[in-house]
Amino acid sequence: MNQVSILNELETNQEIKACCAAVYESDWARLLLGNSFHPGGLALTERLGLLAGLGPDHRVLDVAAGTGASALYLAERFGCQMVGIDFGQESIAAANASAAEAGLANRVQFQLGDAERLPFEDGAFDAVTNECAFCTFPDKRTAAAEMARVLRPGGRLGLSDLTRPGPLPTELDGLLAWIACIADAQPLEQTTGYLEMAGLAIEQTEAHDEALRRTVADIRGKLLGAELLVKLKKIDLPGADFDQAKAIARSAAQAVREGKLGYALLVAQRSTS
Ligand SMILES: C[S@@+](CC[C@H](N)C(=O)[O-])C[C@H]1O[C@@H](n2cnc3c(N)ncnc32)[C@H](O)[C@@H]1O
């Protein structure tokens, strides 16, 4: 690859991240997903925390924390200290406001950051969590290496994400599908491969396809409701392309039904040496 195409690729990657962050900061995301932007909601976040062995003396990094619901939940449930990073400035502001509102600002802080360039020292965290976002990182190898780097020896990564065992229908291949974590969903072995390459040992994987099926069904219902509200002029969603969004949601529901799209949770450990 020559220098110009490397630069073009870097620019495109930054645009993808910025676009993804903007979508998850939009009224659309709040309307369709609420506060917790991943299948399984906070119940699956709790499962991730249990399997990753989070505890009161732990300092934990949530990579791609969104508006902070998971980090706040983990801090309350496991008593740990949380730092969240996200690419979206507005998400970070909303997350810090929620931490203050919950009286947790002394134990939970959020800051702007890129998963592919984490602004922390080597070994700074006892655990790292990453929910429903690995699929959206353009450079997965670097993101995996970064999450491993900031873990202390023996520290654990808890990750959940969309998976796909084989090829996806072409209508699930555009930018919107990328941002919805679908277009670049990897086979589970590919994700574990990135993590192993980064020096992490996979301890456990679990399939949670049913959680994804419920989320997609829920989004389809809410899309119909939102379209009706826009038609009735009860709400305003500028630039909303309901036909495209409904087509992606319909196709995603079919892919989940046919086993072409799933959701998985995994825990991996950095070696103790
Ligand atoms: C599907 S949401 C998941 C948010 C949160 N983890 C949750 O489960 O509620 C994906 C998030 O990834 C963030 N994101 C995308 N690319 C990123 C990057 N390179 N670095 C940090 N955050 C990123 C987006 O801004 C968005 O908040």
| Domain-located, residue 154 | yes
**Ligand 1 pocket, mutate which of 37, 70, 110, 208 (most atoms under 8 A from CB):** 37
pLDDT at residue 93 in the model: 97
| Domain-located, residue 254 | no
- Is there an atom of ligand 1 within 6 Å of 70 CB? yes
Q: How far is the CA of 2 from the centre of ligand 1 (A)?
A: 30
Q: Which atom of ligand 1 is nearest to the CA of 33?
A: 9
| Domain-located, residue 234 | no
pLDDT at residue 179 in the model: 73
d(CA 80, CA 253): 36
| Domain-located, residue 216 | no
d(CA 141, CA 125): 20
- Secondary structure class of 154 (helix, strand, coil): strand
Q: How far is the CA of 92 from the centre of ligand 1 (A)?
A: 11
pLDDT at residue 184 in the model: 86
pLDDT at 175 over 60: yes
Q: Check which CATH number belongs to the domain holding 68 and give it.
A: 3.40.50.150
pLDDT at 5 over 70: no
Q: What is the mean pLDDT of residues 198-209?
A: 98
User: Residues 142, 123: contact at Cβ < 8 Å?
Assistant: no
- Is there an atom of ligand 1 within 6 Å of 37 CB? yes
pLDDT at residue 156 in the model: 98
Q: For residue 129, what are the domain limits?
A: 3-26+37-209+260-270
User: Residues 261, 168: contact at Cβ < 8 Å?
Assistant: yes
| Domain-located, residue 31 | no
Tell me the DSSP string of the chain. --HHHHHHHHHHHHHHHHHHHHHHTSHHHHHHHTT--STTHHHHHHHHHHHTT--TT-EEEEET-TTSHHHHHHHHHH--EEEEEES-HHHHHHHHHHHHHTT-TTTEEEEE-BTTB--S-TT-EEEEEEES-GGG-S-HHHHHHHHHHTEEEEEEEEEEEEE-SS---GGG-SHHHHHTT-TT-B-HHHHHHHHHHTTEEEEEEEE-HHHHHHHHHHHHHHHHHHHHHHHTTSS--TT--HHHHHHHHHHHHHHHHTTSSEEEEEEEEE---
- Is there an atom of ligand 1 within 6 Å of 161 CB? no
Q: How confident is the model at residue 110 (pLDDT cuts 50, 70, 90)?
A: very high
Q: What is the mean pLDDT of residues 63-84?
A: 98
Backbone angles phi, psi at 79, to 5 degrees: 75, 10
d(CA 113, CA 107): 19
pLDDT at 83 over 80: yes
- Which of these ranges, 27-41, 89-103, 121-135, has the smallest mean pLDDT? 27-41
pLDDT at residue 6 in the model: 58
Tally of domains in the chain: 1
Structure tokens at 160: 């959940």
Q: Who's near 204: CB < 8 A, 6+ residues apart?
A: 51, 266, 267
| Domain-located, residue 180 | yes
| Domain-located, residue 81 | yes
pLDDT at 226 over 70: yes
| Domain-located, residue 94 | yes
pLDDT at 2 over 80: no
Backbone angles phi, psi at 156, to 5 degrees: -115, 145
User: Residues 128, 61: contact at Cβ < 8 Å?
Assistant: yes
